[in-house]
Structure formats: structure tokens, C-alpha cells
Amino acid sequence: MQTYTVRFRHYDPALGRWLERDPLDYEDSMNVFQYVRSAPLNEVDPSGLAGGPVHHPYPLYLGGDPNQTCLQLSDDATHNKAHLHIDDAISKEARRLRIGRVPGESARDFQRRVWQGMSSRQRRSIIRESLRAGGVDDSVIDSHMRGICKNADPGTNRTCQRKRPSGGVYNSRGAKVGGVLGAGGAFIAVFDAQAAASSDPNCQRMRDALKEFTADPTNCDILKSARAAADACFLSIGEALGDGKFPCYALDQWDDLIGLCEVNCRKP
């Protein structure tokens, strides 16, 4: 079995979990062996010490810049509170202006339309209050507000551009922490080493497809066309590891990646 030493802990890519307890104990979750809350398509933990979920204060689905300064909140509950505050504020503004959804308009498209009609001052105020709802100190909000709102394009869906932000990631007290990866990036980090070591030509086809998808995350067909190759690659890796569960786990992750692309990234 091949494992990776990642500073403070050892990681088993076949199991998708740490082999030692989290040094932070229960601060992140009740599962002290869990890796990034079982969301390797969205986040990474380069030191094994990452805390709560990474939050884009200016939501990407509302036009926030993928490179904005991000904040790591304490847990999923506070992350949800921050997002719910923004959703509620948009709903209140729509009621105040008596704006309704038009036929065929999705809930997110409606939110984007209302958000786009707000003033920049309104949007900044809503983002500020959402961070307070997420437990972020005022001093941290003040110091990073410019980086959060920089290069925003209000009303645009930029979800599929999610990646490690160049603006950095900070916790609610202002200390710099780890980051997030775009769709496919963390998948490559977890499986690329085994695929590269395999002599199965399907593994190279899978690696090429992932790299091509990372370059163009709107092209979901790349992943679909390579699914059979990925399945064969995962089977060969599972045999080499002597782990019958690995192929199922890995293919589930591949299908999750396809689903993520279909929902957020496919070109209209």
C-alpha cells in the first residue's frame, strides 16, 4: 500500500483519508480521520491541519472573482449561515422592489438579476453582514474587503472557475491558511501518482482527459468520453494495491466530477 507523508500526517489515497488523528482534534469535525470533509474535488489540505470550509465571501454564483480573498470558517453550519444571509438579503430586496421570477427563470438566475440591480454599496454591505453571520471578526473583514470585491462581475455565474485563489485564504481571526482547488484539481492530486505508476494505457488516457478538462472546465464531454478508460485504470490500480474497494470509490469520484461540471460549468 502506498501512502504519502504530508508534513503532520500520512495520507492513504486509496482510502481517501488520513491514517492519524487530526492534531486539531474535533475542531474541524467529529471525524478526526476525514480528509477535507470528504470533498476532495473542492478543497485540499496540504499540511493536514486545515480547519473549516473555505468560503468565497463574494459568491461565485453571483459574479465574485475566483481569485478573491477567501476566508476559512469554523464549520459547515457557519458557512451555511453566511450564504443564507446573502440569500435572505436578495429575497428582501426583491420583495421591496416587487420583483418576481419570469417564466423559465431558475432561482439562481433570479438571484443574479436582483443582485446585478443593486448598488455596489448594497452588495458590499450584504457581504459584510454575511461574514459577521459567519463569525468573522470586523477587523478581518475590514482588512480584506477590497480583495473580496476586487474584479467582481455582478450577476455573472463564475462557479465553474473555482480554483486556488491568488488572493489567499485566511481564517476568521486573520491568519493565513491553505486553499481550494478547481474542479478536477484535487482529483488529479489524489489519483495522478498511482495512474502515472501504472503501465495500463487507460491510465494515461485518464490523465490526459483530466488535464484537458482542467484547462477547459466547461467541456464536460471530455470526462464522459474518458469514463471507460478511467474505470479500467481504477481497476488496474485496485488490483495493484490489493484493494477491491478502490475502483468503486474512484469511479464515484469521477462521476461526481461529471455531475459538478454538468450543473455548474457546461456552456449554454
Per-residue pLDDT of 225-259, as tens digits, reads 999 999 999 888 888 877 777 788 778 878 877 87
Q: What backbone phi and psi angles, to 5 degrees, belong to 5?
A: -90, 115
The number of angstroms, rounded, from the C-alpha of 65 to the middle of its chain's C-alpha atoms is: 14
- 3-class SS string, the chain: CCCEEECCEEEECCCCEECCCCCCCCCCCCCCCECHHHCCCCECCCCCCCCCCEECCCCHHHCCCCCCCEEECCCHHHHHHHHHHHHHHHHHHHHHHCCCCCCCCCHHHHHHHHHHHCCHHHHHHHHHHHHHHCCCCHHHHHHHHHHHHCCCCCCCCCHHHCCCCCCCEEECCCCECCCECCCCHHHHHHHHHHHHHCCCHHHHHHHHHHHHHHHCCCCHHHHHHCHHHHHHHHHHHHHHHCCCCHHHHHHHHHHHHHHHHHHHCCCC
Q: How far apart are CA 107 and CA 111, in angstroms?
A: 6
| 169 has pLDDT over 80 | no
> Using one digit for the tens of pLDDT, what is the confidence trace for 107-119?
989 999 999 999 9
**pLDDT at position 110:** 95
| 30 has pLDDT over 50 | no
Q: What backbone phi and psi angles, to 5 degrees, belong to 240?
A: -65, -35
| 144 has pLDDT over 90 | yes
DSSP β-bridge partners for residue 18: 11
Q: How far apart are CA 181 and CA 185, in angstroms?
A: 5
The number of angstroms, rounded, from the C-alpha of 97 to the middle of its chain's C-alpha atoms is: 33
Residue 27 confidence class, pLDDT cut points 50, 70, 90: very low
**pLDDT at position 149:** 95
Q: How far apart are CA 190 and CA 178, in angstroms?
A: 17
> Using one digit for the tens of pLDDT, what is the confidence trace for 41-95?
555 555 555 556 778 999 989 999 988 998 888 777 888 899 999 999 999 999 9
Residue 29 C-beta-side C-alpha neighbours within 13 Å: 13
How does the average pLDDT of the chain come out, rounded?
78
Residue 30 C-beta-side C-alpha neighbours within 13 Å: 0
| 155 has pLDDT over 80 | yes
Cβ neighbors of 123 (< 8 A, separation 6 or more) are: 58, 115, 149, 152, 154
> Using one digit for the tens of pLDDT, what is the confidence trace for 210-229?
888 777 777 888 889 999 99
**pLDDT at position 19:** 64
Mean pLDDT computed over 121-136 = 95
